[in-house]
Amino acid sequence: MTGKVTLVGAGPGDPGLLPRKGEAALRAAEVVVYDRLIAPELLELLPPTAERIDVGKEADHHPVPQWRINEILLEKAQEGKNVVRLKGGDPFLFGRGGEELDLLAQHHIPFEVVPGVTSALAVPAYAGIPVTHRDYASSLHIVTGHAKAGSPLQINFRALAEAGGTCVFLMGVSALERICDGLLAAGMATETSAAVVERGTLPGQRKIVSNLGHLAEETRRADLHSPAVIVVGEVAALSDRFDWFDMLPLKGRTVVVTRPKRRAGALRSRLRELGADVVDYPCIETVPRLENPLLEQCLAQISHYDWVAFTSSAGVEVFFDALWRLGLDSRALGGVKLAAIGPSTAQALEARHLRADFMPTVYDTEHLALGLAQRTNGPVLLPRAALGSPILPRVLEEQGVAFTDVPVYDTVFPGEHADALLPLLAAGETWVTFTSASTVRGFVGSLPEGTDLSRVLGLCIGPQTAAECARHGIRTRVAREATVPALVELILKVAGE
């Protein structure tokens, strides 16, 4: 059986610009063949078993030549695989998508094309430049500035100058001077507005807005490089007025997220929406204990407990998975009451259509324990991390509450993986979010011994997390309450200071 190849346009960088059809294709892919500049988030959509083939091209040298890429697609499809060819921007706009389909068509391999959001349109849009505008431009010309090594540019400058619309040049930075000279020689005015936008739609997007006479010089001075889009035409002058991306409150800020990968999503995407450059640096992973005789014993006698108190959404997940594996479901809980330490734990219960009977007003273990002490008439079950806070059992003991502390998952630290982080720490103040004391321990443990932590600013979800930071000499700011929205609010506040 032959497979199929789907050519998918991944968009110019912002992972949110992947088309829905492209997302569906990635989720079903068995093989993905992808380019440089593809957002890592997009590869996370792949099934874990999918084969990933990186054919990324560095400027001026091609690690995997085009003919070989074409062959890989053919070979994998002939093996019967569902292949996705993930390409930057739109696959057919200066993307050699046509060449890739040629060989497939010759061999009667079925294929589909998912058009993408091209950088030619999206990058100007993220820089506040509408490529047409009734008052300024009624046509758009998209031109490649790429020329074979040693040969002159193949651009009809006269035609562009006469047409009078907006010109967008891709792959043009290294030929910028020749492009500007060509347009001027063809009669365009030196005052014609023009812009260069580097790494458009990405957190590190930079731009300069100038005019045709000064564009090349200013681009050199600002040290802008490929990938960049060049826009020539009156619409470029609107850039500063319509800029929205550079105005995002966290634009230009780098924020390190230390949550476990599986749980980082909400914080990560919220910070990105606010313009931050988010560095994923997972410092802990939670591993459920699948063999757990103590938990099974407690579940078998669950009606013996007055309360089950959860201190994390991971605890909720493992608890109900274990119940399910025993052939039971939430009805087994009967009249047992449920406590959640805070809103995200309560949400994990809600996802199972269960309400928390109690959630403390301050979302920490101490307030949880004190609240339980006031309410309970019998023993409390604590399904939680093996490395959970000692405060919870201590306070319950002090209050004379009987409880069973059941470790249901282990917290593992990935160990040293600091290569991506050390340059950031060396560069200056580094903002690191911490959502639990264990993320702090994982963070410190991931760094080589003796790393200077004085320039880390720990953005902490609560006081216990901050206390762990203080133990390692990390300066902190603490969220108003222990929730992800409050942590984001804190980051916005610190950014505004």
Q: 70 or 286: whose CB is closer to ligand SAH?
A: 70
Query: Could you confirm whether 76 is annotated as catalytic?
Result: no
Residue 13 beta carbon to ligand SAH: minimum distance, rounded to whole angstroms: 4
- The tokens for 451 are 């790393």
- The tokens for 343 are 């809103």
- 137 touches ligand SAH by CB under 6 A: no
- Within residues 222-281, the interface with ligand SAH by CB under 6 A covers 226-229
The three-class DSSP label of residue 52 is: strand
Residues 30-69, one symbol each (x = binds ligand SAH by CB under 6 A, - = not), give ----------------------------------------
Diameter over CA atoms, the chain: 89
Peptide bond into 407 cis (omega under 30): no
- Residue 186 CA, chain-centre distance (Å), reads 44
Q: 114 or 372: whose CB is closer to ligand SAH?
A: 114
The residue from 3, 5, 12, 216 that contacts ligand SAH (CB under 6 A) is 12
Residue 113 beta carbon to ligand SAH: minimum distance, rounded to whole angstroms: 12
Q: 59 or 422: whose CB is closer to ligand SAH?
A: 59
Query: How does DSSP assign 63-129, residue by residue?
Result: SS-HHHHHHHHHHHHHTT-EEEEEESB-TTSSS-HHHHHHHHHHTT--EEEE----HHHHHHHHTT-
Host H or E run for residue 150: none
Q: 172 or 342: whose CB is closer to ligand SAH?
A: 172
* Cβ–Cβ under 8 Å, residues 309 and 376: no
Q: Provide CB contacts within 8 A for 343, sequence distance 6+.
A: 359, 363, 483
Active-site annotation holder among 14, 21, 54, 57: 57
317-321 own/partner pairs: CB under 8 Å, 24+ apart:
317/288, 317/348, 318/288, 318/289, 318/383, 318/408, 318/409, 319/295, 319/383, 319/408, 320/352, 321/288
Selected range binding ligand SAH among 70-78, 87-95, 257-265, 275-283, rule: CB under 6 A: 87-95
CB neighbours of residue 114 within 10 Å: 23
Q: Name beta bridge partners: 277.
A: 254
The residue from 90, 100, 317, 468 that contacts ligand SAH (CB under 6 A) is 90
Label residue 130 exposed, middle or buried (CB < 10 Å: 0-12, 13-18, 19+). middle
- Within residues 171-230, the interface with ligand SAH by CB under 6 A covers 171, 197, 199-202, 226-229
Residue 32: DSSP 8-state: E
Cα 219 from Cα 334, distance rounded (Å): 69
Q: Which amino acid is at 221?
A: R
* Cβ–Cβ under 8 Å, residues 105 and 135: no
Selected range binding ligand SAH among 113-121, 179-187, 313-321, 471-479, rule: CB under 6 A: 113-121
Number of helices followed by number of strands (H, E) in the chain = 19, 20
The answer to whether the Cα torsion of 211, 213, 214, 215 is positive or negative is positive
Query: Could you confirm whether 35 is annotated as catalytic?
Result: yes
Q: 83 or 123: whose CB is closer to ligand SAH?
A: 123
Q: 195 or 276: whose CB is closer to ligand SAH?
A: 195
The residue from 15, 88, 203, 282 that contacts ligand SAH (CB under 6 A) is 88
Q: 277 or 405: whose CB is closer to ligand SAH?
A: 277
Q: Which of 80, 88, 58, 84 is nearest to 5 (CA)?
A: 84
Q: 35 or 468: whose CB is closer to ligand SAH?
A: 35
The residue from 15, 95, 282, 458 that contacts ligand SAH (CB under 6 A) is 95
- Residue 375 CA, chain-centre distance (Å), reads 42
Q: 225 or 455: whose CB is closer to ligand SAH?
A: 225
Active-site annotation holder among 4, 14, 35, 76: 35
Count interface residues toward ligand SAH (CB under 6 A). 23
Residues 139-178, one symbol each (x = binds ligand SAH by CB under 6 A, - = not), give -------------------------------xx-------
Cα 169 from Cα 145, distance rounded (Å): 6
- 123 touches ligand SAH by CB under 6 A: yes
- 119 touches ligand SAH by CB under 6 A: yes
The residue from 6, 118, 254, 438 that contacts ligand SAH (CB under 6 A) is 118
CB neighbours of residue 433 within 10 Å: 28
Q: Name beta bridge partners: 53.
A: 33
Cα 219 from Cα 212, distance rounded (Å): 11
Residues labelled as active-site residues: 35, 57
**Residues in touch with ligand SAH (CB under 6 A):** 12-13, 88-90, 93-95, 118-120, 123, 170-171, 197, 199-202, 226-229
